[in-house]
Amino acid sequence: MLRAILVAPVSRTVRGIATELALGADEGLSVACAASLDNLLTFPKSMLARRMGAVAAGRRQELCVALLTVADC
């Protein structure tokens, strides 16, 4: 069983760069913001209290493109 997950910090500062994923009301968040995929962290699952929002499966390709940009591949 996995005890940690990768998380991307989310900030109200939207830089519009290729390693960000823009987020907002469609993801259940109250303000426009962005996930910074070039700052991924390993986080213990036990520390997660509640889900703040979610990225729809239809945006998976956007997420993958940003992660490929981070990895430079």
Residue numbers of the domain that contains 62: 4-71
Q: What is the pLDDT of residue 1?
A: 84
Neighbours of 65 (CB within 10 A): 14
**In the predicted structure, residue 38 carries a pLDDT above the cut 90:** yes
User: Residue 21: which H helix or E strand, with range?
Assistant: strand 20-23
pLDDT > 70: what percent of the chain? Answer: 100
What pTM was computed for the model? 0.86
CA-nearest of 30, 35, 33, 47 to 9 is 35
We report the CATH number of the domain holding residue 28 as 2.30.30.110
DSSP 41-53: EEEEGGG------
Number of domains in the chain: 1
